[in-house]
Structure 1
Amino acid sequence: MSTSPVSTVEELAGRRVTVAGLGVSGVPAAKVLQGLGADVTVVDGADGERPRAQAAELEALGVTVRLGDGATLPKGTELIVTTPGWKPSSPLFLAAAEVGVPIWGDVELAWRLRGRNGEVPAPWLAVTGTNGKTTTVRMLAAILEAAGLRTAAVGNIGVSLLDVVLADEPYDVLAVELSSYQLHWASSVRAHSAVVLNLAPDHLDWHGSMEAYAADKGRIYEGNQVACVYNTADPATEALVREADVEEGCRAIGFTLASPGPSELGVVDGILVDRAFVPDRRSNAQELAEVSDISPPAPHNIANALAAAALARAFGVEPAAVRDGLRAFRPDDHRITHVETVDGVEYVNDSKATNTHAAEASLAAYEHIVWIAGGLAKGAAFDDLVTRSARHLRAVVLIGADRALIRDALARHAPEVPVVDLDRTDTGAMAAAVRAAHELARPGDTVLLAPACASMDMYLDYNQRGDVFAEAVRDLAATAQ
């Protein structure tokens, strides 16, 4: 056994590698590492039915799996490959640091394995940000497909990068969603072009500070080849571009909901316009699509579309493909999804709005709102959200463990807005919230589930929360007929 640290994938054969975590990326990582000849041990603090099933699958391949203990560094470990979510302060990583064991993320491993099938590696068009990542990546993939390119939306979106980079049939280009967790452990990744959509406080318990969170997001720009795309409405994203060490000739490209300047994409009279990837960008502009081509045409979703278009144009995609891709795109459930219209009131499910930044964007999309909010606040404050959104609020219905934080912010900054505090976290709370919202809403209003909080106080995840909301709305619609 070698005593030197593992520094390349070519050195993996015969080396002892520990995979931290199972899940969507841990299982493929363990399989790939085993296939490369590594001696693989997987550790995971969980010990339930699903982890045991995954462990049995891996053990049949010769992988050692330790469930119920994610803190102890296996003896002789020469490399750790971690799945997203494991904090840098985890005891496993602290033990590794003491003995000089390197740590790669699953994204880092995927990057290092590109092209091992002999083909030219597919370039990565990379997306991060506090909110809007998945929507933007899926918009980008739809645009690339409309251009006739073989592509996939991968990464933090729930599709393993390892499976894609090692696929038998090569890809032309990949649309890659990267979380701050993944970027923290991805020091070698160098994208063709990348965007940071926005920055707002989130996951600070993991990163330790807003500065550390922003720095990890900014890693996505390191080594960019063609374009670093930023949000002109969020100066922090431009600051990350200025700080990045990029390849010579790489350009800074802004996107804006206003009329664009040179080297920007923006909106003019309901038209998405490119003044970045055109000849003589100081005097010329290229029409890409209409705002009406975007579903839904909420302001933050238009921003997502502009970011996706910028990355696609950086890769050389023609304007018609941008239009066709945006027309073909449909958002995932629980992201500003229209559920029903009942008695002239639109009911919208944005359960994915799990933080204040996402909720603010959702609230800005409608004129008169009965807002259903609450859940686990994750240390967030709600004063700024309420102050900026108060003019849209017809009324508010609160549920969830930390609803008092929102109630108190409303009392301070929007005391004229009626508030119904249901004081509930039980399974029937959402149906009661929908009924209360129905009583408060007027024809032309929108009842909006945009909780601004995580869901785990009442539900498995935001998907289940959104499903319960949609079911309650449909039950309301049935009784209203």
Structure 2
Amino acid sequence: MSVEGFPVAGRTVLVAGLGVSGVAAARVLLDAGARVLLTDAARRPAVDELTGRGAGWLGAREVLPEDVDLVVTSPGWRPDAPLLVDAAARGVEVVGEPELAWRLRVAGPHGTRAPWLAVTGTNGKTTTVTMLEAILTAAGHRAVAAGNVGRPLVEVVTARGADGLPAHDAIAVELSSFQLHWSSSLAPAAAVVLNVADDHTDWHGSFAAYRDAKARILERAPVAVADAGDPVAAALVAGHPRPVTVTLAEPAPGQLGVRAGALVDRAFAADPAGEPIMERADLPVPGSHNTVNALAAAALARAAGVPLEAVARGLAGFRGGAHRNVLVATVDGVHYVDDSKATNPHAAAASLAAYPRVVWVAGGLLKGADVDPLVAAVAPRLAGVVLLGRDRELIAASLARHAPSVPVVAVPSGDDDGMDGTGATGEATMAAVVAAAARLAAPGDTVLLAPAAASMDVFRDYGHRGRAFADAVAALAR
């Protein structure tokens, strides 16, 4: 396989990190005839399969082996990992799985390759990229959402259908800042930076480095999209040759926005006054942040030539993802909502803004993020707070400063017990959390799981945390 001038057969490629993307990259590289070496801190189950196909297992390594031509790194590996530092010192290129996928895209009969429509941002990426997938499918494309959303891009871009043609003719691509850090030549047909807030500075080293990683998605995109309401994202597209912004207000020329309760396109429409897309009331997900996500997905689709009617049909049929502002149940007049995907303060702020009076379930791993601005902003909405997780005392201290009259319950968790590998500790912790929240809530309130923090101190991931919340609510209802 040789695509985009990138020969693979016969090259020695080291795959560093054998998570989902690393395993997928190793499989595709083996299929393409590369000599594949594997390294990770532990021997994962996939090692036996890959070595059975000819890969070499090196175990944990901090020094680059000789004769390696390319390193494909997991997004979880920080740039200061000794092996990656050694590769850079030796002049060996390090790429992520999305960059590898871009270079390995298979071509159709006329040499064309499926365009990428790319999404990044601190929050809203998965919602936006799955909205975009729904729109592209409604327009008749063989579309798929891939990347950070779950399915590895190397699998998607090398897949062929029964007819031998590429399996997909359009790809909605979600990219994290980690993935973008290791990408150098991606050229999506259009790209959006939804927002840029304080997150992952522990990985990138500074907010500026995190912002600049996000900005890489725009460098080679003919159309650059951002939320006009996010000053950092809007600044990133301001100097682009074809900037498009989305807004919750009346759209100006070059914008998609809201007019008299309808989503309106004034960036790609033939009529300079703009053309309506759909009524906001027909978008089946709540919250102003989801209106922004829908406008961003529409902008990418319109940049790719999707008709307004297909945009409206795709958005109207969208049902949202798990653990993203999902109403779990109403018990004794109290609404229980799972937004476990709100893993940082920016996401939690958007979630909390959707409900007038909230018992907030928060806490976990803050990853160095400052919660003070969030707590100060949402304090008037809070009927109570239940805290869990390793960094719960940091949130408690912020609440004492900015919402001293709000009742707060701290549930022992995180470092006090932690994950036991079975999930039993997490389930017990969440049962105690939901019981405490029920005591604080009155009819009409919303008990909102929007933790503003990562989950891996007590739970396997945010999905496990959300399922534990739903199970605890179900038990409460019984």
Matches of 1:37 and 1:166, distance apart in 2: 14
> Which residue is 2:420 aligned to?
none
- Count of matched residue positions in the alignment of Structure 1 and Structure 2: 460
**Cα deviation per residue 1:439-480 (whole Å; 9 max; x = unaligned)?**
2111111000111111111111111111111000011111xx
8 Å CA contact retained: 1:369, 1:445: yes
- Comparing 424-433 with 56-65, which one deviates more in the overlay? 424-433
Q: 1:148 aligns with which of 140, 143, 149?
A: 140
Write out per-residue CA displacement over residues 224-246 of structure 1, whole angstroms, 9 at most, x where no aligned residue.
12x211110112112212355xx
Q: Distance in 2 between matches of 1:380 and 1:238?
A: 22
| Aligned twin of 2:226 | 230
1:385 aligns with 2:374: yes
Q: CA separation in 1, counterparts of 2:61 and 2:277?
A: 49
Which residue does the alignment assign to 1:137?
A: 129
Does 2:40 correspond to 1:38? no
Deviation at 1:262, TM superposition (A): 1.0
Query: How much has 1:292 moved relative to structure 2?
Result: 2.2
Q: Using the TM superposition, give the Cα deviation of residue 84 of structure 1 relative to its aligned residue in structure 2, in angstroms.
A: 1.5
Measured in 2, the distance between the counterparts of 1:61 and 1:116 equals 26
The reply to whether residue 256 of structure 1 matches residue 247 of structure 2 is yes
The amino acid that maps onto 2:123 is: N
String of CA shifts for 1:206-233, please: whole Å, max 9, x gaps: 11111111111000001112x2111101
What code does the residue aligned with 2:172 have?
Answer: A
Query: 1:182 is aligned with what amino acid?
Result: Q
Q: Aligned to 2:76, which of 85, 104, 128? A: 85
On the 8 A contact 2:4/2:104 being kept in 1, the answer is no
TM-fit CA distance, 1:81: 1.5
Alignment CA distance shift 1:8-1:21 (3 Å): farther
Which residue, out of 306, 324, 327, partners 1:317? 306
SS of 1:240's equivalent in the other structure is helix
Shift in Å at residue 365 of structure 1?
0.7
Q: How does 1:459-474 map to 2 (within 5 A)?
A: 459-474=459-474
Shift of 1:112: 1.0
Deviations 1:93-113 (A, max 9, x none): 111122111112211111111
How far apart are 1:270 and its partner, in Å?
Answer: 2.1
Q: Which runs of 5+ in 2 are unaligned?
A: 418-424
Q: Is 1:59 the counterpart of 2:83 in the alignment?
A: no
| One-letter amino acid of the structure 2 residue matched with residue 35 of structure 1 | D
Report the equivalent of 2:422.
none
Q: Secondary structure at the match of 2:368?
A: coil
Question: Could you tell me how far 1:296 is from its partner in structure 2?
Answer: 2.1
Query: 341-350 vs 96-105, which deviates more?
Result: 96-105
CA distance in 2 between counterparts of 1:232 and 1:262 reads: 13
- The correspondence of residues 161-172 of structure 1 with structure 2, limited to 5 A, is 161-169=153-161, 170=166, 171-172=168-169
Inter-partner Cα distance in structure 2 for 1:159 and 1:422: 35
| Corresponding position: 1:213 with 2:210 | yes
SS for the counterpart of 1:152 is: strand
Contact 1:381–1:405 (Cα < 8 Å) also in 2: no
Q: Is the 8 A contact 1:117 1:166 kept in 2?
A: no
Per the alignment, do residues 139 and 7 of structure 1 end up closer, same or farther by CA in structure 2, a change over 3 Å counting? closer
Equivalent pair of 1:22/1:44 in contact (CA under 8 Å): yes
In structure 2, do the counterparts of structure 1 residues 29 and 9 end up closer, same or farther at CA, with 3 Å as the change threshold?
Answer: farther
The SS at the match of 1:456 is: coil
Supply the AA of the counterpart residue of 1:140: L
Task: Check conservation: 1:18, 1:43, Cα contact below 8 A.
Answer: yes
Q: Which amino acid aligns with 2:477?
A: A
Aligned to 2:102: 111
Show the counterpart of 1:3.
Answer: none
CA separation of 1:70/1:111 partners in 2, compared to 1, >3 Å: closer, same or farther?
A: same
Residue 278 of structure 1 and its aligned partner are, at CA, apart by 1.2
Say if 1:314 and 1:116 are closer, same or farther in 2 by CA, change over 3 A: closer
Q: 1:320 to 1:132 in 2, by over 3 A?
A: same
For residues 96 and 153 of structure 1, the distance between their equivalents in structure 2, rounded to whole angstroms, comes to 32
Q: Helix, strand or coil: the match of 2:143?
A: coil
Aligned AA (2:65): P
* C-alpha distance in 1 between matches for 2:12 and 2:411: 54
Deviations 1:64-121 (A, max 9, x none): 1233x04231222121112222111111111112211111221111111123565410
Distance of 2:271 and 2:309 partners within structure 1: 20
Task: Report Cα offsets for 1:154-189 as digits up to 9, x if no partner.
Answer: 111111111111111322211000111111111110
Q: Distance in 2 between the 1:84 and 1:349 partners?
A: 27
Post-superposition shift, 1:279? 2.1
Alignment of 1:121-200 (within 5 A): 121-169=113-161, 170=166, 171-200=168-197
Question: Which of 265, 270, 278 is the matching residue for 1:279?
Answer: 270
Aligned AA (1:351)? S
Correspondence for 1:411 among 397, 400, 414 = 400
Q: Return closer, same or farther for 1:120/1:153 CA change in 2, 3 Å cut-off.
A: same
Whole-Å separation in 2 of the counterparts to 1:110 and 1:41:
18
Displacement of 1:321 in angstroms is 1.3
Paired residues of 2:6 and 2:104 also in contact (CA < 8 A): no
User: Is structure 2 residue 345 aligned with structure 1 residue 356?
Assistant: yes
Q: Give, in whole Å, the separation in 2 of the partners of 1:148 and 1:28.
A: 28
Q: Where does the alignment leave 5 or more consecutive residues of structure 1 unmatched? A: 1-5, 245-249
Moved more, 372-381 or 147-156: 372-381
Task: Identify the range of structure 1 (343-352 vs 8-17) with the bigger mean alpha-carbon deviation.
Answer: 8-17
Is 1:431 paired with 2:435? no
SS at match of 1:472: helix
The CA distance in 2 between the partners of 1:75 and 1:31, in whole Å, is 22
In the TM superposition, what are the counterparts of 1:331-350 in structure 2 within 5 Å? 331-350=320-339
Q: Percent identity?
A: 55
The answer for the alignment partner of 1:398 in structure 2 is 387
- Post-superposition offset of 1:275: 1.1
For residues 10 and 264 of structure 1, do their structure 2 counterparts lie closer, same or farther at Cα, with a shift above 3 Å needed?
closer
Amino acid at match of 2:370: A
Aligned position for 1:247: none
| TM-score, normalising length: structure 1 | 0.92
- Aligned 8 A contact 1:78 1:102 in 2: yes
- Aligned CA-pair RMSD: 1.7
Change beyond 3 A, Cα 1:10–1:265 = closer
Report the Cα offset of residue 10 of structure 1: 4.1
TM superposition score normalised by structure 2? 0.93
Does the 8 Å contact 2:324/2:338 carry over to 1? yes
In the alignment, what sits opposite 2:23?
27
